[in-house]
């Protein structure tokens, strides 16, 4: 397995700078996280308090499913998307979840 070193944080709208015409991003304007500090959703490894905060925000978000589908469709391997960590998203895929 090849490990890639990742920065601890990503600049705001980093993922939007990687356009993919197949992925829809209109839902992002409706997301509860859109004006929040991205450090919450891209925490340092093993930062359980930030992960817990991010998941709490996601749990009340109306576009959580769209966010999760986006992360799975783009194979995003870092950050909290749709209320799930990268490892949780991998497990979801292994158990047959398919984005809509």
pLDDT tens digits along 9-63: 444 444 454 445 456 788 899 999 999 998 899 887 778 898 999 999 999 999 9
Work out the pLDDT band at 100, boundaries 50, 70, 90. Answer: low
For 75: left if phi > 0, alpha if psi spans -120 to 50, otherwise beta; the answer is: left
For residue 16, is it within any domain? no
70 in helix, strand or coil? helix
Give the structural domain span for 68.
35-100
For residue 21, is it within any domain? no
81 in helix, strand or coil? strand
For residue 51, is it within any domain? yes
For residue 3, is it within any domain? no
For residue 63, is it within any domain? yes
């Amino acid at each position: 397995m090849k490990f890639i070193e990742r920065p601890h944080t990503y600049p705001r709208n980093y993922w939007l700078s990687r356009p993919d015409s197949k992925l829809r991003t209109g839902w992002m304007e409706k997301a509860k996280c859109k004006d929040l500090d991205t450090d919450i959703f891209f925490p340092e490894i093993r930062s359980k308090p930030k992960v817990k905060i991010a998941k709490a925000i996601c749990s009340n978000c109306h576009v959580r499913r769209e966010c999760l589908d986006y992360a799975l469709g783009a194979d995003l391997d870092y950050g909290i998307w749709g209320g799930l960590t990268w490892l949780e998203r991998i497990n979801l895929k292994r158990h047959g979840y398919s984005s809509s």
